[in-house]
Amino acid sequence: MPINRVITRPLLASCLCLIAAIAGAQEPVPVRVNVFPGAQNLPIFAGVAKGIFEKRGLKVDVQFTPNSDQQRKGLAEGAFEIAHAAVDNAIHMVEAAKQDVVIVLGGDSSLNEFMVQPEIGSMAALRGRIIAVDAPNTAYALLAKKILLRNGLKEGADYTMEPVGGSAVRMKAVLGDKKYAAVVLNVPWSILAAQGGLKSLGRTVDLLGPYQASGAFVMRPWAQANGPLLERYLAAYVEALRWVMDPANRSEGVALLVQRLKLAPAVAEQAYDLMREPKFGLATDARFDVEGFRNLLAIRAEMEGQWGGKPPAPGKYYDMSYYERALKTVGR
């Protein structure tokens, strides 16, 4: 048999197999993910940039939202599939809008600080002043209400809240207008606010204890119809988070924050280091903090008078089965 036939046939077979594999390969599935601009999104930025989502057959489209009202509306109307934000927004959707939303991932304890104008020396000095918030009936506005109540101040009687928008918008509003006396801000906006002259009266997690803040939530019918897809997303997110938390990747992580949030390198470095700080930063593997979630419900019940002031059992709002299955694919 001629030697060229001996060599050519295996090569031809290999080429045909490769062509068939390429032809049969599926295109990545588009997934639209809606977030507030902030450093807490670094795992998503990294997952896209490092091809971690793509490796699991996903093409993630990251969208920024200006405020929680638009995000909640967009999720309910199908403008995107996954929302990352304070999970108290999911509770609001369930209770106020009667929408079938479910929390599927944890994230952090809020990365928040209670920031005030430089002349304000205490919580008591906020009497008669205006607090800038995203929306007055959810998430970090409720944290502010609880913190102020612990210091003897009650909304309406002692101070007022004014809806302004997401963290970046609130920061600019408070820095630009002295009528706003205080604001709760997360990283990196708290860093930029301090550079602009505001000062911190404390981290919210230190002032109030454990709190389940940011996480991912979806429409429950979508999750039920797309379970394997959701699990692939969650697995990729955990992989990306592990990459972010590895100090060996600090320089690349900082560069992503600079690129995606238009931050100065020094601010991005500080934000990165804060996100790795235990109890304040990003939760290991984005685990959902049930104790912190119970605290969230208790604060909502007290501040909003919801559920007759008695928080409900937390299980109706979250389903970690997708997360647990995803975690098995990446290893614990």
Element (H, E) at 22: helix 3-24
Say if 262 falls within a structural domain: yes
Say if 6 falls within a structural domain: no
pLDDT band at 138 (very low <50, low <70, confident <90, very high): confident
Residue 290 pLDDT > 60: yes
At 76, which CATH number?
3.40.190.10
pLDDT band at 193 (very low <50, low <70, confident <90, very high): very high
2-6, 17-21, 320-324: range with lowest mean pLDDT? 17-21
Looking at the fold, whether 50 and 101 belong to one and the same domain comes out as yes
pLDDT band at 139 (very low <50, low <70, confident <90, very high): confident
Looking at the fold, whether 257 and 238 belong to one and the same domain comes out as yes
Residue 3 pLDDT > 60: no
Looking at the fold, whether 148 and 224 belong to one and the same domain comes out as no
Instruction: Indicate the pTM of the whole model.
Output: 0.88
Total domains in the chain come to 2
Say if 7 falls within a structural domain: no
Q: What is the pLDDT of residue 331?
A: 84
Q: What is the pLDDT of residue 267?
A: 98
Mean pLDDT of 230-252: 98
Q: Of the candidates 164, 179, 208, which is a domain's last residue?
A: 208
Looking at the fold, whether 120 and 152 belong to one and the same domain comes out as yes
Say if 84 falls within a structural domain: yes
Looking at the fold, whether 229 and 325 belong to one and the same domain comes out as yes
Say if 160 falls within a structural domain: yes
Token representation of residue 223? 């999750």
Residue 10 pLDDT > 50: no
pLDDT: which is higher, 10 or 180: 180
Residue 34 pLDDT > 70: yes
CA atoms within a 13 Å half-sphere pointing along the CA-CB vector of 190: 23
Looking at the fold, whether 179 and 223 belong to one and the same domain comes out as no
Q: What is the pLDDT of residue 284?
A: 97
Say if 11 falls within a structural domain: no
Q: Of the candidates 159, 179, 208, which is a domain's last residue?
A: 208
Q: What is the pLDDT of residue 295?
A: 95
Q: What one-character-per-residue DSSP string does 267-314 give?
A: HHHHHHHHHTSTTTSBPGGG---HHHHHHHHHHHHHHH-GGGG-PPPG
Residue 92 pLDDT > 50: yes
Q: Pick the closest to residue 167 from 147, 148, 190, 145 (CA basis).
A: 190
Pairing assessment for the beta strands 130-133 and 180-186 based on DSSP bridges: parallel
Q: What is the pLDDT of residue 5?
A: 42
Residue 18 pLDDT > 60: no
User: Mean pLDDT for the chain?
Assistant: 92
Token representation of residue 16? 């045909």
Looking at the fold, whether 260 and 249 belong to one and the same domain comes out as yes
Q: Of the candidates 157, 192, 208, which is a domain's last residue?
A: 208
Q: What is the pLDDT of residue 137?
A: 86
d(CA 40, CA 237): 12
Answer yes or no: are the C-beta atoms of 58 and 230 closer than 8 Å: no
Looking at the fold, whether 139 and 281 belong to one and the same domain comes out as no
Looking at the fold, whether 78 and 143 belong to one and the same domain comes out as no
CA atoms within a 13 Å half-sphere pointing along the CA-CB vector of 48: 16
Say if 124 falls within a structural domain: yes
Q: What is the pLDDT of residue 273?
A: 98
Q: What is the pLDDT of residue 272?
A: 98
Mean pLDDT of 119-144: 94
Residue range(s) defining the domain that contains residue 297: 29-109+212-330
3-state DSSP call for residue 249? helix
Residue 226 pLDDT > 60: yes
Say if 318 falls within a structural domain: yes
Residue 119 pLDDT > 90: yes
Looking at the fold, whether 216 and 295 belong to one and the same domain comes out as yes
12-21, 24-33, 141-150, 184-193: range with lowest mean pLDDT? 12-21
For residue 106, CA distances in Å to 122, 244, 266, 284 come to: 32, 16, 28, 9
Q: What is the pLDDT of residue 11?
A: 43
Mean pLDDT of 89-117: 95
Q: What is the pLDDT of residue 181?
A: 98
Looking at the fold, whether 224 and 319 belong to one and the same domain comes out as yes
Looking at the fold, whether 285 and 158 belong to one and the same domain comes out as no
- What confidence tens digit (pLDDT) does each residue in 59-77 have? 999 999 999 999 999 999 9
Residue 47 pLDDT > 60: yes
Residue 332 pLDDT > 90: no
